[in-house]
Structure 1
Amino acid sequence: MSREVNFFNFSINKILSKNQSILDQAKIRLLYYGFWIVAVAVAGLFVSVYFQHQVLLSITAAILFFSVVVLFKYLTYRPHWRQISHALLVIATLINLNNVFIALQTVDIITIQIILLIILFSFYMLGQSWGLFYSLLNLIPVLAFMVLEYNSNYFIALRPEKVDQSTIIIGIFANFIIIIYIHSHFYSAFFNNIKQLKETGDEQQRLNGQLEVAIDKAEKSSQIKSEFLSTMSHEIRTPLNAIIGMSNLMMMANPRPDQQENLNVLKFSANNLLSIVNDVLDFNKIESGKVIFENLKFNLVDLLQNICGAEILKAQQKGLNFALKIDPLLQNKILFGDPTRVSQILFNLISNAIKFTPQGNIWVKAFLYEDKHNSIIISFIVKDTGIGIEKNNLESIFEPFTQESITTTRQYGGTGLGLAIVKRLLELQGLHMNVSSKIGEGSEFSFNMEFAVSTERVRYTADKSLLYPGNELLSSLKLLIAEDNPVNVLLMKKLLSKWNIIPTIAENGERAIEVLQYGNFDLILMDLQMPVMNGFDAAKEIRKLPDSKKAGIPIIALTAAALNDIKEQVLNAGMNDYVSKPFKPEELMEKIQSLVTAVPQ
């Protein structure tokens, strides 16, 4: 029902609802108007048999009329059509069997009509199972009576009543009217239901068409967005590469104190811009579902010290105390996991802690939460004495491009993506971030992460001279650089000159192949986006060279692009590794060193 109705309701409109199906509404209408037809017919039969002084038939007609009135009233108060249908069928069955076995003691056309009515009504109203039940409940006793009567074996002490022709005519006419009404009503209901299903199917087909168009648009939009971000990344990272690279070179040249200060500001601003670009690209990668977690071997202590190394300087510049506390039980363990993503999570949390702490302390803690022998669960905690977070904002701070308030954004800056990235990375691993905070007292972010444990023991090497400028191994290398951007070429020449390396330059991929064929080189630094022939195609052609030594030369891709699958593309093209621009000199040096260790000295 669409609304509650009172007991004195007689309107059918108040017991119909839009929530009901067409068939349910049809069943309620059938009962509502059918009761009127039956009431009139039964009243006529009652009058006819009453004046004929047929006691049993009069009582039967009176009971039937009373039952119809009661059920009609119940229908208009509570339209439970299923219960009402069962009640009607039980009453009709009792009356039918009473007429056959007691009142009339015969099977006539009215009996047949009543059985037909019960069959039609039970199947239409209650379905196949109940239809069969009520049909057999009436047919079997009647057939049994006919067999007994045929063999002259049926006899009771009560004399059967006889009705005149007018009563028979009234009964036959009323039954036919009801049969025709039931057929007509349900034919109309079924037809409307089929029509509605067809319309619904057509509408569903139309909506599916619109959905396919919308999905296609969304996919194209996503592709365009990814391509746009990749292009913008390349265009932003390329000049950033020059700015950060030149800053590094100038800082390596022992500048005066005033120059050092200016260079620090320049490098800090460039790194901030790079961080914003990286946040946007990382978030896009996470949202597109293209994040793949690696399972690499790493030393957690070294990782934490590297993460916190640069952050300690930032904290000290603000006058903050920074403390890194590592559980002694973790000191000698080598773990398997994704150190890049662990670094990303902790870096964002620590950066936020420093940003939103005007004075006081920053604590970074890692302790053994549970040891499972083959794996361990580590608790990471980043705590500060900063401005704190309102309790009702603890959920919203993890939404993308969101900070606690507009005032916070204006005062402290940032894109509001750091915590969103943290939350998504943890959720993708089935992990949860715990946050507790008090305004004016600080915040604490913590999470647990499980790692597989290696049986290898930590081995520390004191000699790391191979990673520093001036190494004789690096100075003897012959490098080929495929790069079309003159600023990047200048930067690479200056950087490599610090390591006593004089590179050969090729302005595109095609030229790089030509130079390689006529010269001997130990390694190629390959830009990916170049005119004439790009880095991918150039690497594939190099791997096809007939000279096995030249075909197997190590190739490091240098890219400012931000494609989600850049690593896969680089490896598929036959290159050995890649470095994203802007790159850290030590990162490039380490990768060069790792690829040329087999070069004879």
Structure 2
Amino acid sequence: MEDSLRKETIPASYFLPHIKDPITRALAITCLLSVSLTILKIIVILPHFSNDALRIVVFAVVSAAAVFLCARAAKTPHLIRRYYHFGLMVYVGYLAISIFLLSKGINISTLQEFYLVIIWAFFGLGIRWGILYAGLTIGMAVVFLVYSNQALTTIYLLPPNIPFWTAIFVVVTNFVLAIFSLYAYQRAIVKTSEEKTALNKQLNKLLDAKTDFLSTMSHELRTPLNSVIGITNLLIDANRDTSQNEDLRNLRFSAESLLLLINDILDFQKMDSHKLELELIPFNLSDLLEDACGSLRTKASEKNLFFEVHSDPRLLTFEAIGDPTRLTQILFNLASNAIKFTETGGVKVSCQLINDYDDKATVHFSIEDTGIGIAADQQAVIFEPFIQASRNISRKFGGTGLGLSIAKHLVNLHGGTIHLKSTQNVGSVFYFDITYKKYHRHLTSQPPSSTSSNRVISKESLKGLRVLLAEDNQMSVLFMRKLFAKWEIEPDIAMNGQETIDKLDQEAYDVILMDLHMPVMNGIEATQHIRSMENPLKSKVYILALTASVSDDIIANIKALGFDDYLGKPFRPNDLHHKLEKILRKQYILSKKHHFFCFF
């Protein structure tokens, strides 16, 4: 994929095409050019020192070493930095011999060569080696100036002992080499940046595709689960056979466990994309604690374990502002994990109110078990995603290894830190503190939310409510018909968005329960078409999105998409009843007003 992206965004290099990395290619090109120009300078300068054997030997050794290094670097680009480093050492040695032994001194040419060494070192070898070579070159200059008789005013003279135009050629050649080196490295940086941008775009596309896939799979998995859990609840509510109800409760527990597993995977995806956010709504902590642990008592009793919930008495009247759903998820994940890994003894969940102030309070939560414990060397990694203490645990107890990772992330979102104390074969304690703002009833009329699962399905009649159900899944339709029958509602059914529009053209409805994923025309398109109708009685109909989608964009913009409200699948029947009850009450009030004005 990386190579294909480079071909799409970066023109292929005709020079050294086998070197794919832009920085490495810049190193190789700069190396070849510097060697070529250095040999050219030596050829131009050498005739002026034909009688100087030492200088000829130095020139020959430098030239031979440069040619050898470049040849090796071109053939083995993965070792180019090693050769580059060796070449710079040879060049620094040449400068030292030239300054101290050949009496070349400090002049424009040597200053340029110092600069070349420094930029090559920084660009080619990194900051540390750049600083080292800068220190070497500057140190040579300082030592020469201190221990020689050369005056500071003579530093910028042209190289001595060679004709004027030859010296100018050397200086210009060094300028060209410096400018080209900067250009090559800058171009390599630009190419690297372009490749990074292209890769990021491709990565974003893949992330979007993954999000779409998870959203689609969530819908496809949660829709049948909605039917399984819903019909099971209906059967439990209607059945009086104790043994059958026990089997049905086991069926419901298994379906809800599968739903929790799906939710964990989706929550992990949201954590990974930093899209997981907390709600701020009022709730009662004591009620939440009981609701979160209520279903776990049965699970513990099946393993002959005790399950205790100790709640601070002050929590009975303490109402917090926060996210009850996520707190429930934290407690449920930790407590269910504790039950899973405990064979004898039991689990104790406790909640203590600490640092109680007028406007806020800190609550201490702890989940203690007498289970298998966690080894000391595993405690540091146990909160990492997909990690379990050992493969034997994974095979024996199952699970994805996401529960603790999600719990840790959610505690961090609350501004707290989760801690662990554990001893193998003795037990474990997970504990954390969360600070909540207090909810004061006199400041707002919004009632505290109830987190109760409320297993008993309400049978209160909603007779008279005109409902259009837009749903393409036959099992969901079957479940909804049975549920509505309890509430004395006879809904009309539309199998897609176009049928929904057609039925609304012919009949008037109080509410449309709109599934989002439907053939022919989806729920969002149908809703937007309805909102554009000329008849206000049709265009302003109450539309409730009934969806298994978990797309953050859809949920966050549910109002902007034209919906009045939404309910996620699987849903609790009483939650739907509560929403429909409010709609029926509103319709009753409107009808009373209509009759009142008609009377006058």
What is the TM-score normalised by the length of structure 2?
0.71
State the partner residue of 1:127. Answer: none
Output the amino acid matched with 1:37. Answer: L
Q: CA shift at 1:24, angstroms?
A: 9.0
Find 2:95's aligned residue among 26, 30, 52.
30
The 3 A distance-change label for structure 1 pair 204 and 460 is closer
What residue is the counterpart of 2:32 in the other structure?
A: none
Deviations 1:398-432 (CA, angstroms, capped at 9, x unpaired): 12122111111111111111111122223344432
Distance 1:340 1:21 in 2: 62
| Match of residue 190, structure 2, among 187, 199, 205 | 205
**What is the alpha-carbon distance in structure 2 between the residues aligned to residue 282 and residue 179 of structure 1?**
75
Mapping for residues 471-490 of structure 1, pairs under 5 Å: 471-472=460-461, 474-490=462-478
1:434, 1:315 → 2: CA distance?
Answer: 23
Which residue is 1:272 aligned to? 257
1:295-314 to structure 2, matched below 5 A, reads: 295-314=280-299
Residue 389 of structure 1 corresponds to which residue in structure 2?
374
Match of 1:593 among 570, 581, 592: 581
1:356 aligns with 2:341: yes
CA deviation vs aligned residue, 1:170-223 (integer Å, no higher than 9, x gap): xxxx95359999987776655444433333233323323332232122111111
Match of 1:165 in 2: none
Cα 1:203/1:321, change in 2 over 3 Å = same
Q: Distance in 2 between matches of 1:323 and 1:178?
A: 98
- Cα distance in 1 between the residues matched to 2:269 and 2:178: 47
**Alignment deviations for residues 259-295 of structure 1 (CA, whole Å, 9 cap, x no partner):** 2233233222222221211111111112111122221
| Structure 1 residues 447-476: Cα deviation after superposition (integer angstroms, max 9, x where no partner) | 121211122289999xx99x953313x234
Q: Deviations over 1:299-353 (max 9, x none)?
A: 2222222111112222222222112222223322221112222122222111111
Deviations 1:381-400 (CA, angstroms, capped at 9, x unpaired): 11111111111111222121
Partner of 2:530: 542
Q: Secondary structure, in 3 states, of the residue corresponding to 2:336?
A: helix
Alignment of 1:574-593 (within 5 A): 574-593=562-581
Task: Give yes or no for contact 2:510–2:583 (8 Å, CA) kept in 1.
Answer: no
Change (3 A) 1:89 1:178: farther
Identify which range, 269-278 or 425-434, moves more after superposition.
425-434
Q: Give the counterpart of 1:220 among 205, 208, 224.
A: 205
After TM superposition, give the deviation of residue 354 of structure 1 in Å.
1.4
Q: Aligned partners of 1:216, 1:495: CA distance in 2, in Å? A: 47
Question: Does the 8 Å CA contact 1:381/1:447 hold for their aligned counterparts?
Answer: yes
Q: Displacement of 1:19 after TM fit? A: 8.8
Answering whether residue 509 of structure 2 is matched by residue 521 of structure 1, we say yes
Contact map agreement 2:283 2:448 (CA 8 A) in 1: no
User: SS where residue 379 of structure 1 aligns?
Assistant: strand
**Alpha carbons of 1:22 and 1:475: their partners in 2 closer, same or farther (altered >3 Å)?**
farther
Match of 1:82 in 2: 138
Structure 2 distance, partners of 1:485, 1:115, is 90
**Alpha carbons of structure 1 residues 115 and 209: separation in structure 2 relative to 1, 3 Å:** closer
Give the structure 1 partner of residue 327 of structure 2. 342
| 2:269 aligns with one of 264, 281, 284 | 284
Assess if the C-alpha contact under 8 Å between 2:282 and 2:449 holds in 1: no
Shift of 1:373: 2.6
Larger Rg: 1
Match of 1:261 in 2: 246
Matching of residue 469 in structure 1 with residue 458 in structure 2: yes
Output one character per residue of 1:97-148: Cα deviation in whole Å (capped at 9) or x when no partner: xxxxxxxxxxxxxxxxx66643459xxxxxxxxxxxxxxxxxxxxxxxxxxx
TM-superposed deviation, 1:26? 5.2
Which residue of structure 2 aligns with residue 118 of structure 1? 155
Residue 323 of structure 1, aligned match among 284, 290, 308? 308
Tell me if the contact between 1:384 and 1:442 (Cα under 8 Å) persists in the aligned partners: yes
Q: Who is 2:49 aligned against?
A: none
Partner of residue 547, structure 2? 559
Cα pair 1:34 1:178 within 8 Å, conserved = no
Query: How far is 1:18 from its partner?
Result: 7.4
Q: How many Å separate the matches in 1 of 2:311 and 2:582?
A: 30
Query: In terms of mean alpha carbon deviation, does 303-312 or 175-184 score higher?
Result: 175-184
Range with greater deviation from structure 2 (508-517 or 211-220):
508-517
Tell me the distance in 2 between the aligned counterparts of 1:309 and 1:179: 96
Question: Which residue identity is paired with 1:85?
Answer: A
Q: CA separation in 2, counterparts of 1:381 and 1:519?
A: 56
The match for 2:68 is none
Q: Which residue in the other structure is 1:101 paired with?
A: none
CA distance in 1, matches of 2:290, 2:152: 91
Measure, in 2, the Cα distance between the counterparts of 1:332 and 1:22: 77
Aligned pair partner of 1:420 in 380, 396, 405: 405
Query: AA paired with 1:514?
Result: D
Give the aligned residue type for 2:521.
Answer: M
2:418 aligned with 1:433:
yes
Give deviations 1:75-102, integer Å, cap 9, x for gaps: xxx984434422432444xx46xxxxxx
Shift of 1:552: 3.2
Counterpart of 1:499 in structure 2 is 487
Partners of 2:82 and 2:197 in 1: how far apart?
34
Q: 1:482–1:506: 8 Å Cα contact kept in structure 2?
A: yes
Q: State the distance in 2 between where 1:589 and 1:310 align.
A: 22
> How far, CA to CA, are the matches of 2:157 and 2:82 in structure 1?
25
- Would the alpha carbon gap of residues 566 and 17 (structure 1) be closer, same or farther in structure 2, given more than 3 Å must change? closer
Distance change in 2, residues 1:21/1:569 (3 Å): farther
RMSD between superposed Cα atoms in Å: 3.5
Q: Which amino acid is 1:471 matched to?
A: E
Q: Distance in 1 between matches of 2:200 and 2:491?
A: 49
CA offset at residue 528 of structure 1? 1.1
Structure 1 length normalisation: TM-score?
0.71
Local SS of the residue matching 2:472: coil
Q: Following the alignment from structure 1 to structure 2, what is the Cα–Cα distance between the partners of residues 84 and 179?
A: 26
The separation in 1 between residues aligned to 2:467 and 2:251, in whole angstroms, is: 30
Ranges in structure 1 where 5+ consecutive residues have no aligned partner: 1-9, 41-77, 97-113, 122-173
- Matched-pair identity in %: 36
What SS class does the counterpart of residue 224 from structure 1 fall into?
helix
For residues 427 and 21 of structure 1, do their structure 2 counterparts lie closer, same or farther at Cα, with a shift above 3 Å needed? farther
